[in-house]
Amino acid sequence: MDILKQLSTEAEQVEVVNVQSESTTVGFEANRLKKSQVEETRGVAVRVVKNGRLGFAASSDEAAAEKLVSNALESAAYGDEIPIAFPAPQSAPKVTTFDQAITELSVPRMVEIGQEIIDVICLVEPDALVNVELERGVQHLSLRNQAGSNVSFRRSPLSISFEVNRIKGDDVLFMFDTLGTTVWEDDYLAFARRLGEKLELAKRSATIQSGRMPVLFAPTGALVLGLPLMLGLNGKNVYTRISPMVGKIGEKLFDDKITIVDDPTLDGKFGSASYDHEGVAHRRNVLVEQGVLKGFLYDLKTAAQTSASSVESSGVESTGNGSRSLFSPPAPSPTNLMFGAGETPLAEIIAGIDEGLLVENALGLGQGNVISGAFSNSLSLAFKIEKGEIVGRVKDVSIAGNVYDLLQDVAAVSRETEWVYRIFSLPYILLPDVNVVAKE
């Protein structure tokens, strides 16, 4: 049964997406190879517009094609009228998302790499217990719609996730990060060495008093600042008017050291591809430029809804940020989210801090009233900076604030940037005056 053909006789618009993927994973637990896993996934997701109403259905059961079709039509029967238009064929940038070298990574080679990572970390911290998971695979996505779009692409994602636990009595240190790429990186150990440096620093202890002080957010910690902004820039939250940035395009909301870009056209990066998951061509989107709000992230539906309801002063179109997983319809999502590099070398930033805090890892990301810009996080890894030097690790410390206040005055942004948590490129960001609470 050709689902597209069949549904085209029953609905004005039809979109059929087939996903198929295979992956292989090896996992180390507490420094030892513990498991290996093979995964196969396949499924079909369908959207239809019938009598102007939008419906969705999905299935991973090949035997259930007829039920899938009737589910899609039933969903549209009860769906809302949405002025959405599935795109006609469009040209898109060529973006490298596939590397044979990754798909040819043998299991023994993956085991070797995992062991190399553990060795780098345990050299610095012999008491560390490291969990590492390496996953490599091939993903195929194909999209067809009644407007003639016929897009298919494949990716070869490689992810390396790690978690480090080091326990000495009641003193517990915990950190985690994930690397993601679709093109093989020769210096795959770079992040492990960086981690080793942090562990070395953590061997010394320091104490800190509660109060307001300069806080330097390392890239892994800067997500605390990035997460509320991500929510604020999301077209869904613009359409529903809960983003604090609604109606402020063109306004200077932040310090001019803040530039934020979403760029899915970078070869080999985890969020990259030629098209989004609705067949819309990818492009580089500038969201904030030197503190001035330039745009939001939209998919087809949120752009259509936003334009129809005049939330923003002019009509908007999809920015190519429609993202989906098999069982969910598309929603706006960043692809590769990048905060622009600054002008100041990191060493200089640290040297200029008389008394402050360096935030590496925070707990509880996403808790609390994040959409309002508020963050309040206890820190699983943070250091005291005294007279221009990192003097030791502090424990039982938390920070709080609101990014819409704090990012109006940024003391410095580093030249150096790092890719963290797969799709974020972040520099070190120094805020001069943040509330720090330390347990006495």
Partner 1 sequence: MRDKIEAALKRSRADYTEIRIEEREATTVAYRGKDLETASAVIDAGGIVRCLCKDRGWGIATFNDRGDLLTKVEQAYQCARVAQSEEPIELAPIPVSEDRIAVTLEHDFRGTTMAGKKALAEEYNSILLGHSDRIVDTQCGYNDTFSRVFFANSEGTFIEEERPMITLWVMVITRDGDNVQTATETRSGQKGFDFVQGREEMAQAVAQRAVDLLSAETVVGGQYPVVLNQMLAGVFIHEAFGHLSESDFVYENPKAQEMMVLGRRFGQDILTVLDDGSLPGLRGTHKYDDEGTPTGRTDLIKNGVLVGRLHSRETAAKMGEKPTGNARATGYRYPPIVRMTNTAIEGGETSFEDMIQDIELGIYACDMYGGQTALENFSFSSAYAYMIRDGQIAEMVKDVILAGNLFTTLMNIDAIGNDFEWMQAGGTCGKGQGGLPVTFGAPHIRIQNVVIGGK
Of the pair 5, 241, the CB lying nearest partner 1 is at 241
Beta-carbon neighbour count of residue 328 at 10 Å?
11
Residue 207 binds to partner 1 (criterion: CB under 8 A): no
Of the pair 204, 212, the CB lying nearest partner 1 is at 212
User: Which of 41-49, 135-143, 145-153, 344-352 is the region at the interface with partner 1 (rule: CB under 8 A)?
Assistant: 41-49
Of the pair 232, 342, the CB lying nearest partner 1 is at 232
* Nearest partner of 73 among 141, 8, 146, 142, judged by Cα: 8
Residue 6 binds to partner 1 (criterion: CB under 8 A): no
Of the pair 265, 361, the CB lying nearest partner 1 is at 361
**Cβ-based neighbours of 282, under 8 Å, separated by 6 or more:** 92, 93, 95, 264, 265, 272, 273, 274, 275, 276, 320, 335
Residues in 328-387 that interact with partner 1 by CB under 8 A: 329, 361, 363-369, 371-372, 374, 376-378, 380
Beta-carbon neighbour count of residue 209 at 10 Å?
9
Residues in 217-236 that interact with partner 1 by CB under 8 A: none
Structure tokens at 36: 């290996």
Instruction: Tell me the closest approach of the beta carbon of residue 361 to partner 1, in angstroms.
Output: 8
Task: Tell me the longest C-alpha to C-alpha distance in the chain.
Answer: 73
Residue 306 binds to partner 1 (criterion: CB under 8 A): no
Beta-carbon neighbour count of residue 267 at 10 Å?
12
- Cβ atoms of residues 133 and 160 within 8 Å: yes
Residue 267 binds to partner 1 (criterion: CB under 8 A): no
Count of residues in contact with partner 1, rule CB under 8 A: 78
Of the pair 229, 412, the CB lying nearest partner 1 is at 229
Distance between CA 18 and CA 279 in Å, rounded? 13
Instruction: Tell me the closest approach of the beta carbon of residue 405 to partner 1, in angstroms.
Output: 10
Distance between CA 203 and CA 57 in Å, rounded? 53
SS3 155: strand
* Nearest partner of 141 among 16, 299, 301, judged by Cα: 16
How does DSSP classify residue 370?
A: G
Of the pair 86, 275, the CB lying nearest partner 1 is at 86
CA atoms within 13 Å, Cβ hemisphere of 305: 18
Which of 43, 291, 320, 427 forms a contact with partner 1 (CB under 8 A)? 43
Spell 180-194 as b/e; 16+ CB within 10 A means b: bbbbbbeebeebbeb
Residues in 385-424 that interact with partner 1 by CB under 8 A: 395-396, 398-400, 404
Of the pair 228, 264, the CB lying nearest partner 1 is at 228
Distance between CA 433 and CA 407 in Å, rounded? 10
Of the pair 197, 405, the CB lying nearest partner 1 is at 405
Residues in 54-113 that interact with partner 1 by CB under 8 A: 55-62, 64, 67-68, 71, 74-75, 77-80, 107-108, 111
**Exposed/middle/buried for residue 138 (C-beta within 10 Å: 0-12, 13-18, 19+):** middle
Instruction: Tell me the closest approach of the beta carbon of residue 283 to partner 1, in angstroms.
Output: 26
User: Which of 238-246, 253-261, 270-278, 283-291 is the region at the interface with partner 1 (rule: CB under 8 A)?
Assistant: 238-246
User: Which of 141-149, 168-176, 189-197, 278-286 is the region at the interface with partner 1 (rule: CB under 8 A)?
Assistant: 168-176
Instruction: Tell me the closest approach of the beta carbon of residue 282 to partner 1, in angstroms.
Output: 25
Of the pair 150, 369, the CB lying nearest partner 1 is at 369
Which of 1, 100, 126, 439 forms a contact with partner 1 (CB under 8 A)? 439
